[in-house]
Amino acid sequence: MSVVLRLLNPYLRLTEKTHMARAVTPALLRRSFERKARLFFHGPRTVRTSVWAGGGLELSGPEHGPVILYLHGGGFIFGSPETHRAMVARLCAIAGMRAILPRYRLAPEHPFPAAQEDAMTAYRAVMDRPGGVFLGGDSAGGALALSLLAQITAEGLPQPRGTFAFSPLTDLSYSGASFTQNARRDVVLPAERAGEMGEMFLRGTSARNPRASPLFAQFKGAAPVWLTVGDTEILLDDTQRMAAHLRSAGVNVTAIIKPDHPHVWPIFHNILPEARQTLHEVAAWLTSLARQ
């Protein structure tokens, strides 16, 4: 464990976890995250940003070859292409690929299935790209990426080259043992707020709906999946059970559990060696699939 990670974990517990536990409204969470992203998250200058015609951001890279369709996290109620642009730009630079970060509708103004519909619209816009598409996401964006993969498979659409997710939320019923076992150990996510945030998104829809919780979806015939999560996260079992579920469907799965890593640690790539290492790991996976 790096010195930076040893310092980052207590800092996040003191600041981010406390803030998320006390934030009263989605608007407050949105403003805070956008401001912090502008201040602290910076991508490589070699990767240029433009407005994507489908809504959202496009990050520059080779004209030919795969594109990464990345769905940002934020509990379905906050976050944006701008908050995650720097991290994805760093991944683009390492992998030698371009990326699109679509702008999907957020709850509670736009509850389920608005985000899923927007994710599918974005995929349909790029799915015929000659070099293929990789799906990616983190936290709630990881849920969107995995549920999108299930829907693509069910509808017989062209498969992505692969799907990756950082600390994905895969079960909105929060039934994994780690949700309670790691409630005090998780340095970012306050477990006591999850039900409230989930209800803002679901608005009465069953938490076991497979489009909302990909842990309950079908994946037979799906392309390879790469997952990672920290062993102190409340979402640890969301990854472990998701990996087992995918393998039972015959999907090629890589699942990496990192010790004492905080929720979606790659977003701290500017300061955290472990974040850069993980981005290099997923980039190596992406490029190996791209060569096949």
Percent of the chain at pLDDT above 70? 100
pLDDT in tens, 154-188: 999 999 999 999 999 999 999 999 999 999 999 99
Which residue in 72, 82, 139, 245 is the catalytic one?
139
pLDDT in tens, 46-93: 999 999 988 899 999 998 899 999 999 999 999 999 999 999 999 999
Domains in the chain (CATH in brackets) are 3-290 (3.40.50.1820)
Cβ proximity of 265 and 187 under 8 Å: no
53: Cα within 13 Å, side-chain hemisphere: 2
**42 in catalytic set:** no
* Per-residue pLDDT, 24: 81
- Alpha-carbon gap, residue 255 to 244, rounded angstroms: 9
Task: Count other C-beta atoms under 10 Å from residue 214's C-beta.
Answer: 29
pLDDT in tens, 250-287: 999 999 999 999 999 999 999 999 999 999 999 999 99
- Alpha-carbon gap, residue 60 to 289, rounded angstroms: 20
Per-residue pLDDT averaged across 41-46, rounded? 96
How confident is residue 234, by pLDDT bands cut at 50, 70 and 90?
very high
Sequence-ordered strand ranges (E) for the chain: 49-51, 56-59, 67-71, 98-102, 133-138, 162-166, 225-230, 253-258
* Per-residue pLDDT, 91: 98
Cβ proximity of 212 and 172 under 8 Å: yes
**281 in catalytic set:** no
pLDDT in tens, 207-217: 999 999 999 99
* Per-residue pLDDT, 292: 84
pTM of the shown model: 0.97
Q: Which two tokens stand for residue 14?
A: 């003191």
How confident is residue 23, by pLDDT bands cut at 50, 70 and 90?
confident
pLDDT in tens, 130-141: 999 999 999 999
**233 in catalytic set:** yes
Which residue in 233, 245, 269, 274 is the catalytic one?
233
Which residue in 245, 261, 263, 269 is the catalytic one?
263
